[in-house]
Structure 1
């Protein structure tokens, strides 16, 4: 998406305000309020993208590695997820809101392709910027004056530079969960996946990426095994926790170790996340031991 978007002209007196404002209010209400909308839509976008990348099964780690048909399917998934989130039914177009047919358009780029059947209809615009981990949600009446003159082979037209000024934004440049692998050091990623066994790869993951929450799906991708959660546990001296503890590294669960995570001044972890850190003083070693985590100290 463009780094700088023009200011919206959508305010009372604009010819589309009476159409789009009630739709925006209805969407926000159905989502449970503006804050819920700004939280839930980004989370759904991340899930839609990751479910198609399928790192645990395919070994792919980025949107750019997808086939063209898979990239198209993400748009379909987003449409389905938004209807489910907002409890909307299917309409003549993608959905119906307050008795109006509304087309849902999604892009991973900088613009949306509007089909002929959506001309002069309201469109709910969704965009995800994977590089910057930012997302956008807006409404527009797809008037011909807001669209480019050129069209693709399917007779779809994109929104013109002037058309962007006629979008009513529900939110824009909103952070959403970044692709974990995109933000990790590439050399570290190569070392992690060079391990021959699930335990080796998992231990490398938490050795090389410390003091940062690691989602459950990343653990699954690294383990590359059906019972991937077994790799995270102690296992008669052979589990990931055992290997890390011998190196003076603590591996904690957001679900079970939230108090210790807070005491060690680590970033907050959700229930399905994990985090590791190197024990650096005797006080922290005692806190870990009191919480049932034996770790080598002092480290050599």
Structure 2
């Protein structure tokens, strides 16, 4: 049965736990909760979607460990349910790092001296521990199927949690309470794409072929994904377990040009990075792209004189 959220003004008492006496308290409305509003203002003043996107993407890649395992998709049968669930745990410290915060008791961190719980889930709900009841919580939800995430800020009062608890005493947030009393920090935001997911089964067989050299397999990768920005992590995943994959990728440039007519550009090289930018590709510092002749022809080439416009600290 769907639980109806208790209204502001209701008395709430958290579950008992060791070391803390549960004290009855009155629920305040979202607008009247001074601590909640202070934390909300602090978070809203930051580029939170960008920061949390980096944190989530890094946590996912850490769990997959592509450079050692060759895995690139959390939904793969090679990734067990416990590993998928660990994304939330790995995410906590990455969020702290992105926001410039520290691990501080009594909860996960403090914002403006206000204790804040950090909770992340890859499921449809968050499981709130007893110590997080009636406290301000930053709630992050990761949709691994659609590769996106969103975040809320909420004081998760006990009366706004479901009655059923798991063996650790954690309770989920009632849907009605989330809808009424959670402050959305940002709506569904896409995670960086993983280009390897776009490959067909046959193409994956070629790119990950056993007993075939890295250079040959990387040349196939670029050929299968023209005009696609490929991050360094994807190249490391293709070459998992091998040494110096970036060197092998650079060695594949000539082969790709000869076989497929594609111009491979490398983000770590300034001239390549600028040319890619002129062609509409953002390589950052370490991504790659194999540009098709059609794309190079359609877009204006970067004149040599323009290469001196952008200052690069690596050249000074």
Q: Indicate how the Cα distance of structure 1 residues 281 and 92 shifts in structure 2: closer, same or farther if over 3 A, else same.
A: closer
User: Which residue does 1:236 correspond to in 2?
Assistant: none
Q: Matched residues in 2 for 1:279 and 1:255: separation?
A: 22
For structure 2, list consecutive stretches of 5 or more residues without a partner in the other structure.
1-7, 9-27, 306-316
Aligned residue among 62, 71, 74 for 1:60: 71
User: Which residue does 1:275 correspond to in 2?
Assistant: 289
Give, in angstroms, the shift of residue 280 of structure 1: 4.7
Q: Indicate how the Cα distance of structure 1 residues 137 and 174 shifts in structure 2: closer, same or farther if over 3 A, else same.
A: same
Give, in angstroms, the shift of residue 68 of structure 1: 4.2
Give, in angstroms, the shift of residue 159 of structure 1: 1.0
User: Which residue does 1:146 correspond to in 2?
Assistant: 160
Give, in angstroms, the shift of residue 19 of structure 1: 3.0
Matched, 1:105 2:122: no
Q: Indicate how the Cα distance of structure 1 residues 221 and 24 shifts in structure 2: closer, same or farther if over 3 A, else same.
A: same
Aligned to 1:27, the other structure's residue is in SS state: helix
1:115-130, aligned counterparts within 5 Å?
Answer: 115-130=129-144
Q: Indicate how the Cα distance of structure 1 residues 144 and 82 shifts in structure 2: closer, same or farther if over 3 A, else same.
A: same
User: Which residue does 1:160 correspond to in 2?
Assistant: 174
Q: Matched residues in 1 for 2:295 and 2:138: separation?
A: 54
Aligned residue among 202, 208, 214 for 1:187: 202
Matched, 1:178 2:193: yes
Q: Matched residues in 2 for 1:40 and 1:279: separation?
A: 35
Q: Given that residues 199 and 224 in structure 2 are in contact (C-alpha distance below 8 angstroms), is that contact kept between their aligned partners in structure 1?
A: no
Give, in angstroms, the shift of residue 57 of structure 1: 0.3
The size of the alignment, in residue pairs, is 267
Give, in angstroms, the shift of residue 260 of structure 1: 2.6
Q: Indicate how the Cα distance of structure 1 residues 179 and 262 shifts in structure 2: closer, same or farther if over 3 A, else same.
A: closer
Q: Indicate how the Cα distance of structure 1 residues 254 and 162 shifts in structure 2: closer, same or farther if over 3 A, else same.
A: same
Give, in angstroms, the shift of residue 105 of structure 1: 0.5
Q: Indicate how the Cα distance of structure 1 residues 87 and 252 shifts in structure 2: closer, same or farther if over 3 A, else same.
A: closer
Larger deviation, residues 38-47 vs 58-67: 58-67
Q: Given that residues 20 and 168 in structure 1 are in contact (C-alpha distance below 8 angstroms), is that contact kept between their aligned partners in structure 2?
A: no
Q: Indicate how the Cα distance of structure 1 residues 176 and 216 shifts in structure 2: closer, same or farther if over 3 A, else same.
A: same
Q: Indicate how the Cα distance of structure 1 residues 114 and 245 shifts in structure 2: closer, same or farther if over 3 A, else same.
A: same
User: Which residue does 2:49 correspond to in 1?
Assistant: 38
Q: Given that residues 53 and 62 in structure 1 are in contact (C-alpha distance below 8 angstroms), is that contact kept between their aligned partners in structure 2?
A: yes
TM-score, normalised to structure 1, is 0.80
For structure 1, list consecutive stretches of 5 or more residues without a partner in the other structure.
1-8, 234-238, 292-300
Aligned residue among 75, 78, 82 for 2:88: 75
Aligned to 1:219, the other structure's residue is in SS state: helix
Q: Given that residues 214 and 273 in structure 1 are in contact (C-alpha distance below 8 angstroms), is that contact kept between their aligned partners in structure 2?
A: yes
Matched, 1:211 2:227: yes
Q: Indicate how the Cα distance of structure 1 residues 164 and 79 shifts in structure 2: closer, same or farther if over 3 A, else same.
A: same
Q: Given that residues 199 and 223 in structure 1 are in contact (C-alpha distance below 8 angstroms), is that contact kept between their aligned partners in structure 2?
A: no
1:126-137, aligned counterparts within 5 Å?
Answer: 126-137=140-151
Give, in angstroms, the shift of residue 193 of structure 1: 1.1
CA shift digits 1:193-236 (9 cap, x unpaired): 12611011101100101101000111111123211111122xxx
